[in-house]
């Protein structure tokens, strides 16, 4: 993305003398995410209340941990998790690091600390490099095939004079996924969360996952990230603004945190959807997007935010008017002739009684109040809504945490009249993984009875209106909304009704720092009216060994 590269180059030239301490960011699927939520809710930490723009920065995370009152009562599990979190971000730890040392380093060079294979921590230079792997086997009912995930790679991060930061993530992956995941690939020509892939042993997939970022600070309050990775905006399990479900993408991110405000500007280079599989012998077209999120912390317990995004309706061309960081994107979209896909949204969360958090998201893709009042079901009233809550140390049981969430998305939300401008990347949704025209309820129970033992139960139930007889009922965001059969009479779940339940029980044990034994039992029931070929009741059990990688879940 030439414009992003040029803008970053200009910023680096203009601001070299203004660089301040710079931090890399926490990775996707960060293992201490639940600890971060618990600390934010219990201590009403206003800095952590800005964590809805994920990934969060390591420096701010360590400051929050070190800012906990030493006299505050902590469970044995919380104390263990805090020490582990500090050890995995020790470049920013100001206190003693003696407890992080390994008792038996390998060749006096490797694993000198329990969290890192190789670490260099000297004046003006920090470097951490770790191996990654995820070996998992699974059996699915109704088939004799053995499912598996075979991922290997390396990840690292570094700091130069605490002014320039960098990180990378490289993995090679082969996997044979459950039936419903393979059906997703066949329908959308995409492996969930992945980019270019090859067929592996007839029904499996082989793909490479490469990520990396460069970090600098323009001023004390403005952080710049130029990277190829994923982002997430929201407080819930799902995000209706921007999720980390799709493939990686190139982006430039400016994050400004000052006073009670956090303002994020995100400029993205995306790959438009296409009806065939992506190949390496073709030059892929590009499309561009700009997103703004402003959050305000009026009190320690309340955070409110505004969101706006626009997907440009010009193939392989960036619109420079969207670079202005303090302008309302919708106004520019109108001045350009309304060819782009503009969205606006609102989010909020409240931490209550040191045990509860309530959160919400509302996104408007298109909305007309007069049509809403008429109650005629105008197709163009496209919006999504989320409402959720978290309850930590539930019923007085330490480290038992509950979460409940409801999501509803109107038909045709995130889609557009031009397939170039739909809210997708590499044939995958940028927001909810199932697209639109749905209602969903999520319940999660997380329990950590012992420092190294984690248990999670999750139930996802949903209904969705699917296309029928080739008619577009607004669930597939890759289809242009011009294919709709009518303008009025639209309600959520319009079309051929599908019902799904995805329940799972996960048990994980951390044998050594960042080395997990994973076991999971999953039951998924799916029924679609009028198409028996889609109906399937699945029971699956998996067992695996994972190190320095996030768990790969197919939770839809």
Q: Does the pLDDT of residue 234 top 50, yes or no?
A: yes
> What's residue 332's pLDDT?
58
Average pLDDT score over residue span 164-177: 96
pLDDT at 404: 98
67: left (phi over 0), alpha (psi -120 to 50) or beta: alpha
Q: Rounded to whole angstroms, what are the CA distances from 266 to 71, 243, 288, 365, 407?
A: 40, 13, 11, 18, 25
Distance CA 176, CA 165 (A): 36
pLDDT higher than 50, residue 140: yes
Over residues 508-518, the pLDDT tens digits come to: 999 999 999 99
Q: Is the pLDDT of residue 117 over 90?
A: yes
pLDDT higher at 159 or 374: 159
**Sign of dihedral through CA atoms 485, 488, 492, 497?**
negative
Contact 431, 423 (CB under 8 A): yes
**Is residue 62 within 8 Å of 51, Cβ to Cβ?**
no
Supply φ then ψ for residue 205, to 5 degrees.
Answer: -130, 145
What are the start-end ranges of the H helices in 28-121?
33-43, 58-66, 76-87
Q: Based on the number of CB atoms within 10 Å of its own CB, is 374 exposed (0-12), middle (13-18) or buried (19 or more)? A: exposed
Range with top average pLDDT, 7-21, 283-297, 363-377, 390-404: 390-404
pLDDT of residue 185 exceeding 70: yes
**Which candidate, 445, 459, 549, places its Cα nearest to that of 31?**
549
Top-confidence residue, 279 or 537:
537
pLDDT tens, residue by residue, 252-283: 999 999 999 999 999 999 999 887 777 666 78
pLDDT at 14: 46
Give the pair of three-digit tokens for residue 49. Answer: 């209340």
**Closest among 126, 131, 104, 97 to 116, alpha carbons compared:** 131
Two tokens at 457?
Answer: 């139960």
pLDDT at position 418 is 84
In sign, the C-alpha dihedral spanning 293, 298, 301, 302 is: negative
In tens, the pLDDT along 195-219 reads 999 999 888 999 999 999 999 988 8
| Separation of alpha carbons 214 and 16, rounded Å | 15
| Closest among 108, 122, 112 to 162, alpha carbons compared | 122
For CA atoms 358, 363, 369, 374, give the dihedral sign.
Answer: negative
Lowest mean pLDDT among 120-129, 205-214, 225-234, 526-535: 526-535
What confidence tens digit (pLDDT) does each residue in 289-325 have?
Answer: 999 999 999 999 999 999 999 998 778 888 777 777 7
Are the CB atoms for 7 and 323 separated by under 8 Å? yes
Widest pairwise Cα distance in the chain = 75
pLDDT higher than 70, residue 328: no
pLDDT tens profile 8-18: 554 554 454 44
Residue 492 pLDDT greater than 60, yes or no: yes
CATH topology classification for 2-547: Porin (2.40.160)
Q: Which residue ranges make up each domain of the chain? A: 2-547
Instruction: Kindly report the average pLDDT of the chain as a whole number.
Output: 91
Of 282, 245, 273, the residue nearest 188 (C-alpha) = 273
Q: How high is the pLDDT of residue 324?
A: 76
Question: Percent of the chain beyond pLDDT 70?
Answer: 93
Bridge partners of residue 128, in order along the sequence:
119, 157
Burial 395-409 (b: 16+ CB within 10 A, else e): eeeebbbbbbbebbb
Distances (CA, A) of 268 to 357, 451, 528: 31, 39, 36
Q: Does residue 70 have a pLDDT over 80?
A: yes
| pLDDT greater than 80 at residue 232 | yes
Task: Point out the least confidently predicted range of 135-144, 335-344, 418-427, 438-447.
Answer: 335-344
The predicted pLDDT at position 337 comes to: 55
- The pLDDT value given to residue 370: 86
First CA to last CA across the chain, in angstroms?
Answer: 32
- Residue 551 confidence (pLDDT) above 90: yes
Q: Is residue 192 classed as helix, strand or coil in its secondary structure?
A: coil
What's the average model confidence in pLDDT over 412-423? 92
State the pLDDT at residue 2: 56
pLDDT for position 17? 46
User: Which has the minimum average pLDDT: 82-86, 108-112, 331-335?
Assistant: 331-335
- Provide the 8-state DSSP code for 471: B
Cβ within 8 Å of residue 257, ≥6 positions away: 50, 221, 223, 263
- Structure confidence at residue 336 as a pLDDT band (50, 70, 90): low
Q: What is the mean pLDDT of residues 418-424?
A: 90
φ, ψ for residue 338, nearest 5 deg: 60, 35
Q: What is the DSSP letter of 197?
A: E
């Amino acid at each position: 993305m030439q414009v992003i590269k040029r803008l970053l180059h200009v910023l680096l030239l203009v601001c070299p003398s203004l660089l301040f301490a710079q931090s890399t960011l926490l990775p996707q699927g960060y293992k201490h995410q639940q600890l971060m939520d618990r600390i934010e809710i219990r201590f009403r930490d206003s800095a952590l209340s800005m964590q809805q723009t994920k990934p969060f920065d390591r420096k701010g995370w360590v400051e929050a941990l070190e800012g906990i009152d030493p006299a505050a009562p902590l469970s044995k599990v919380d104390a263990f998790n805090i020490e582990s979190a500090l050890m995995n971000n020790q470049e920013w730890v100001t206190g003693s690091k003696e407890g992080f040392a390994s008792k038996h380093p390998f060749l006096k060079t490797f694993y000198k600390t329990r969290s890192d294979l190789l670490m260099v921590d000297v004046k003006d230079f920090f470097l951490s490099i770790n191996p990654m792997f995820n070996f998992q086997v699974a059996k699915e009912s109704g088939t004799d095939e053995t499912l598996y995930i075979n991922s290997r790679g390396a990840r690292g991060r570094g700091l130069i004079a605490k002014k320039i930061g960098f990180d990378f993530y490289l993995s090679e992956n082969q996997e044979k996924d459950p039936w419903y995941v393979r059906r997703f690939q066949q329908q959308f020509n995409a492996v969930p969360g992945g980019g270019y892939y090859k067929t592996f042993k007839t029904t499996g997939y082989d793909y490479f996952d490469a990520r990396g970022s460069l970090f600098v600070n323009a001023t004390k309050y403005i952080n710049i990230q130029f990277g190829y990775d994923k982002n997430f905006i929201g407080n819930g399990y799902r995000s209706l603004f921007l999720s980390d479900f799709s493939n990686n993408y190139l982006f430039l991110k400016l994050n400004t945190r000052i006073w009670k405000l956090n303002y994020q500007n995100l400029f993205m280079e995306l790959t438009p959807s296409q009806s065939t599989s992506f190949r390496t012998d073709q030059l892929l077209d590009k499309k561009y997007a700009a997103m703004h999120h402003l959050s305000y912390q009026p009190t320690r317990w309340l955070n409110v935010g505004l969101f706006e995004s626009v997907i440009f309706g010009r193939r392989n061309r960036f619109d420079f008017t969207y670079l202005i960081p303090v302008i309302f994107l919708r106004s520019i979209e109108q001045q350009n002739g309304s060819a782009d896909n503009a969205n606006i949204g609102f989010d909020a969360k409240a931490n209550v009684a040191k045990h509860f958090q309530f959160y919400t998201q509302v996104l408007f893709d298109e909305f007309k109040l007069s049509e809403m009042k008429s109650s005629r079901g105008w197709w163009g009233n496209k919006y999504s809504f989320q409402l959720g809550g978290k309850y930590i140390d539930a019923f007085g049981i330490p480290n038992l945490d509950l979460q409940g969430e409801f999501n509803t998305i109107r038909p045709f939300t995130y889609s557009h009249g031009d397939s170039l401008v739909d809210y997708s990347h590499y044939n995958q949704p940028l927001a909810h993984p199932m697209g639109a025209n749905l209602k969903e309820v999520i319940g999660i129970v997380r329990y950590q009875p012992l420092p190294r033992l984690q248990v999670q139960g999750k139930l996802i139930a949903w209904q969705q209106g699917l296309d029928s007889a080739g008619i577009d009922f607004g669930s597939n965001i890759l289809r242009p909304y011009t294919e709709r059969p009518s303008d009025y009479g639209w309600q959520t779940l319009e079309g051929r009704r599908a019902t799904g339940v995805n329940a799972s029980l996960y048990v994980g044990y951390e044998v050594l720092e960042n080395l997990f034994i994973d076991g999971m039992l999953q039951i998924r029931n799916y029924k679609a009216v009028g198409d028996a070929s889609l109906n399937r009741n699945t029971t699956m059990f998996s067992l695996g060994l994972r190190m320095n990688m996030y768990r790969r879940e197919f939770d839809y």
